[in-house]
Structure formats: structure tokens, C-alpha cells
Amino acid sequence: MATISQVFKNRTPAPRFHLRLSEPQRTAIAFLAPALLIFSIFVLWPIIKSVRYSLYDWNGVGPLSDFIGVNNYEDLLHDKVFWKALKNNGIVVIWSLGTQIPLGVGLALLLTRGLKGSSFFRTLYFVPMVLSEVIVGVIWRWIYQPFFGMANAALLELGLDKQGWLGDEKQVLLCILVVATWRYLGFYIVIFIAAIQGIPEEYYEAASIDGANAFQRHRYITIPQLIPTIRVASVLMIVGALKSFDLVWVLSQGGPSHASELVATYMFKEAFSSNNWGYGSTIAFTLFLIAFVLAITFIFFTRQKKDT
């Protein structure tokens, strides 16, 4: 059996107009075909279809007949709600990177020091991750409920004013971000713990012998050793932030008045509530392009690092 890399090494220049493949090549095709087929049907084909829809003014009923070229894309450029949604997605990315990485690394460091009860806390932080995103949303809706929710009850106990939480255009996004962090932090803590445990003990011993203090050991050993993991976590966060939908949908449906709108929720609303399927497809494809470009850029940069 040939591995994929062997396949490419063994590749001989294919004779023109003859479909004669070497044994390993045929094996590779046979093994890749099912995945490729599924990928084509469920990923590639829908993308092609939505590109087509995005060039039409289509309400999802009847035939595609109203071809309008790139009109939808022009509208998108001038669509205030779209830019707001994109900005909100940006805020989600920055917030995730800015809170979950420092918090995740910090808590992971604490939890790997062998303190009493650290396995208990490890489980505790991971619990929200086991819940489905919709359940998390429903639980937090109740916490934020302005009339009988826990959040306002706590404020009242402390003698503070009640807040509107999800109903307040200025607070809603922050409220959702807190929930997102609560939900995903455990996952990143686990990743970072695994990475920290993978750092050879000898490094620390050597550093201690050289007289490095605890801060220096973290600064010059732990953090640099964690960089690849942080990079992977960042990619996950960015992709997650761009495609996030469920939590926002359950908590606020992107409202009030688009204050917590994300590109994905806006796309859903345009396609399914306003019946602008053409425009919805335009948003979907634009989101795909953004995610694609970001992912490629990230992969490119991570590769550069490996080479040097």
C-alpha cells in the first residue's frame, strides 16, 4: 500500500492522451474518490449554486429569471446592516483572541501546577463545552431575563440598578460575548493543558539550575513552547467567530435592531425572513470568501514559520 506522499514521489510524467495510471496513483484515486465525491456534492456544488443565485433577484419562489449581474454585490457594499454585522464579527474575533487566549493560558498554568483540587476545576471549566450551544443559549436567556433573571436579581441584592441586558442595544453584544467565553474557555484550557504537559521537564530543570525564577521560566520556556498551540487555537477562534450563529440566534436573534447582528444571522434573515434568496446567497458567498482568504493567509503564515 502506498501512502499519499509516495504517490507524489513516484509520479512519472503521464503519457499524453493515454489514461495509464501507475498502481499507487490508482490506489490514491480509489481512496480519495469517496471523500471527494461527498465534498463535491455537499460543499463544492452548493457553493457554485449560491454563486449563481447571488447574481439573481430571486425570492425563492418560481424560476430564476431576473438576472441582475453584480447588483447584489453593489448593494452589499452600501448595506449598513452588513457592515455592522461584519464589524460585530470582527469584535467577536478580537474579543475571543483577547480574552480566551490569556485566560486560557493563565488558567491552564494554574491547573498544571498540581494544586489541590485542580482536577475538580479542570472538569468544572470543561462542563459548558459538553452542553450544546442552543442549551447554553437557553440557560443564559434565563439568567439575563430582565424581570426574573439571575443577573438582575444579583444586581438588586447588591443595591444596584437593574439592567436591560439582551434588550439593551449597548449591552447585548457584550452579554453574548461573555456567554461565548464561558462556553469555549474550557475547551482552550484543555488544549493548553495538553500542550503545557508536553513541554519536557528537563527545560525547566536546566533553567532552574541556571538561576531562572518562576516568571522567567514561564516567559522564556512555557510561552515560546506554547506558540504553535496558540496559533492553532487562534485559527479555531477566528473560524468559529466568523461562522458563529446558534448562540446569537438563541440569545437575541441578532437584535435589538441589529445591535448583535452577525453576518451569518443577517444572511439567514435575508434568505428566510425577507425571502431575498438572491441577496442571502450574496451574503453567504461573501462570508465564504472572507473566511477562505483568512484561512489561506493563516495557513501561509504558519507555513512560513515552520520553514525558518
Partner 1 sequence: MQKTRKMILFCTLALSMILTLSAGHVEARQSPTVITMWHIAVESDSFYSVLPPAIERFNATHTDVQIEAQAIQNDAFKTQIQVAIAAGEQPDIFMTWGGGLLQSYVEGGVVRDIPELDTELGANFIPGGFAPSTFDGKHYAVPANLAGVFLYYNKDLFEQFDLSAPATWDELISSCETFSENGIIPIALGNVNRWTGSFWFMNLVLRSGGPEPFMNAFNRVDGASFTDPAFVEAGTKIQEAVEAGCFGEGFNGVDYPDEQLLFGTGLAAMELQGDWNYAGLLNIDAEIAENSVDVVPFPLLDSEMGDPNALVGGTGQAFAISADAPAEANVALIELLGSEEFGLSVAENGFIPALKGFDQNIEVPIVQKMASLLSQASFVQLAYDQFLPPELAQVHLDTTQQLFGLSTSPEDAAAETEAAAVEILGAE
The minimum distance between CB 214 and partner 1, in angstroms, equals 45
Query: How long is the chain?
Result: 308
52 binds partner 1 (CB under 8 A): no
Dist. CA 6–CA 8, nearest whole Å: 5
Smallest distance from partner 1 to CB 276, Å: 6
By CB under 8 A, how many residues form the interface with partner 1? 33
CA distances from 27 to 36, 41, 245 (A): 14, 22, 40
Give the shortest CB-262-to-partner 1 separation in angstroms: 16
Q: Residue 79: which region, alpha, beta or left (left: phi > 0; alpha: psi -120 to 50)? A: beta
- Is 240 a binding residue for partner 1 by CB under 8 A? The answer is no
Task: Give the residue with the Cβ less far from partner 1, 85 or 185.
Answer: 85
Does position 147 interact with partner 1 (CB under 8 A)? The reply is yes
Please report whether residue 42 would count as binding partner 1 according to CB under 8 A: no
Which residues, listed in sequence order, are joined to residue 67 by a DSSP beta bridge?
Answer: 56
Minimum distance, C-beta of residue 272 to partner 1, in the bound complex (Å): 5
Range list of H helices, 78-158:
80-95, 101-111, 118-130, 133-144, 150-157
- For residue 84, state whether it binds partner 1 (rule: CB under 8 A): no
DSSP character string of 208-245: HHTT--HHHHIIIIIHHHHHHHHHHHHHHHHHHHHH--
Residue of 42, 148, 215, 300 that binds partner 1 (CB under 8 A)? 148
Q: Which of 208, 213, 273, 297 binds partner 1 (CB under 8 A)?
A: 273
Binding flag, residue 163, partner 1 (CB under 8 A): yes
Query: Applying CB under 8 A, which of residues 258, 263, 265, 285 lies at the interface with partner 1?
Result: 258
